[in-house]
């Protein structure tokens, strides 16, 4: 959530940055500032009336001690007339603060100056691309056919048990999935990330604090009886570990990693581009999260991008890195780098990771702060990245490592999988 003082300092600049995200409701900025003015005026009225009451009450005690009973009674009457004025002011303040909050949560994060204008993913900037695209055997298959050929995943069984988009991993498919998640976690913990296994359901406050609510409400599975939400990513529960927390500068950087199942409704998704593992409703992902000093967050962003790049390189997959344009940037993000791996069998790029800096946007909702050397309380910066999302990584490995009669296992995975290939 943006801070009101940021809007007040330069409202026209804020509107310009919001327009980069194709957010064209600039009038919201003016409405929020007007509500904040109203809130300040009501607060001044309340403080003034309360001050008069406090001053009069003190004087009443002094008058009574001095035997000036008549003057004290007159002042008591004045206080009794002032006190009823407080309740309507308090009620007005509560309503204005609610209106102010409801409008503030509609504003997305401001994009960093590096973020270029653009309407969609077609306008994203390619910042790096590799040329190690494999030459596949004649008649190479897309992963959904390979999954059937080697009996690794059963989509029909998942549809029977739950519904479309809930695959059942079987035999060596389950083992490869387990090998990938274990390797990713070890890769992250070796780099200093502390491992968690979080709950896969969160309460409304947690979903709000990381920005999923109210923006992504329609994309989240909602357990209505308890008002819990199934997580779309481990970022949500893990970041909330530090909700309502004041850190010390010596605590930085806070580095966390977690494996989890993830649940996304992906309403309206259909067609060839979402076939097989390209898009499912339940999938597994390993996440990295950092909470850092504001002065260090862009250095940390570069570090996290390099970390994910090294992980993809270790799998031997062709990849490219994109800096998202404003129109493709997420609601909470100030800047995002996407990683895509190339599927030669499908002839297309598959997104496998997003690494984002949220600056203070999540921290303001989380109330996650730190005390600096001068004793001043400030908001932290939060960052997160996929390290990695398993479905499309699995799809890319199957497709890019296929031979005429087997699927080779990347060398770094062989100790985890226990074999060099799937026959």
Which three-class secondary structure state does DSSP give residue 196?
A: strand
Q: Which residues sit in the known binding site for ATP? A: 264-266, 280-283, 351-354
Longest dimension (CA), the chain: 108
Nearest C-alpha neighbor of 284 from the set 405, 181, 194: 181
Which three-class secondary structure state does DSSP give residue 150?
A: coil
Q: Which residues sit in the known binding site? A: 233, 264-266, 280-283, 287, 351-354, 384
Cβ burial of 240 (10 Å; 0-12, 13-18, 19+) is buried
β-strands 222-223, 319-323 pairing: unpaired
Report the alpha-carbon angle 104-207-214, nearest 5: 40
Residue-wise over 280-308: b if at least 16 C-beta within 10 A, else e?
bbbbbbbbbbbbbbeeebbebbebbbebb
- Contact yes or no for 276/395 (Cβ under 8 A): yes
- Strand ranges, E, within 241-281: 245-248, 254-263
Q: Which residues sit in the known binding site for L-serine? A: 233, 264, 287, 384
Total Cβ atoms within 10 A of residue 313: 12
Residues 284, 197: Cα–Cα separation, whole Å: 12
């Amino acid at each position: 959530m943006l801070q009101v003082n940021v809007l007040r300092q330069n409202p026209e600049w804020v509107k310009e940055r919001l327009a980069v995200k194709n957010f064209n409701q600039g009038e919201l900025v003016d409405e929020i500032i007007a509500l904040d003015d109203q809130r300040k005026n009501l607060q001044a009225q309340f403080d003034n009336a309360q001050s008069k009451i406090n001053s009069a009450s003190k004087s009443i005690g002094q008058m009574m001690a001095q035997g000036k009973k008549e003057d004290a009674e007159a002042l008591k009457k004045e206080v009794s007339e002032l006190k009823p004025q407080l309740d309507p002011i308090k009620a007005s303040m509560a309503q204005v603060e609610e209106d102010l909050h409801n409008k503030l949560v509609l504003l997305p994060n401001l994009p960093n100056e590096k973020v270029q204008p653009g309407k969609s993913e077609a306008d994203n900037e390619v910042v790096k691309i590799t040329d190690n695209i494999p030459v596949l055997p004649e008649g190479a298959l897309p992963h959904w056919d390979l999954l059937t050929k080697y009996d690794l995943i059963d989509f029909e069984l998942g549809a029977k048990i739950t519904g479309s988009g809930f695959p059942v991993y079987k035999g060596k498919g389950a083992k490869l999935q387990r090998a990938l998640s274990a390797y990713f976690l070890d890769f992250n913990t070796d780099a200093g990330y502390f491992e968690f296994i979080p709950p896969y359901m969160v309460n409304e406050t947690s979903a709000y604090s990381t920005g999923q609510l109210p923006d992504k409400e329609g994309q989240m599975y909602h357990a209505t009886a308890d008002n819990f939400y199934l997580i779309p990513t481990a970022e949500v529960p893990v970041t909330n570990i530090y909700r309502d927390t004041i850190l010390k500068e010596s605590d930085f950087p806070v580095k966390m990693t977690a494996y989890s199942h993830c649940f996304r409704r992906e309403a309206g998704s259909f067609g060839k581009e979402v076939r097989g593992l390209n898009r499912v409703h339940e999938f597994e992902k390993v996440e990295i999260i950092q909470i850092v000093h504001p002065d260090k967050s862009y250095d940390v962003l570069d570090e996290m991008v390099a970390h994910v790049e090294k992980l993809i390189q270790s799998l031997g997959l062709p990849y490219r890195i994109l800096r998202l344009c404003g129109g493709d940037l997420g609601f909470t993000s100030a800047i995002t780098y996407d990683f895509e791996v190339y599927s030669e069998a499908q002839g297309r790029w598959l997104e496998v990771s997003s690494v984002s800096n949220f600056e203070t946007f999540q921290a303001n909702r989380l109330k996650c702060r730190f005390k600096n050397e001068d004793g001043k309380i400030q908001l932290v910066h939060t960052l997160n990245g996929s390290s990695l999302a398993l479905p499309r990584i699995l799809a890319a490995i199957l497709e890019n490592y296929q031979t005429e009669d087997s699927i080779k296992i990347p060398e770094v995975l062989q100790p985890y999988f226990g074999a060099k290939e799937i026959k």
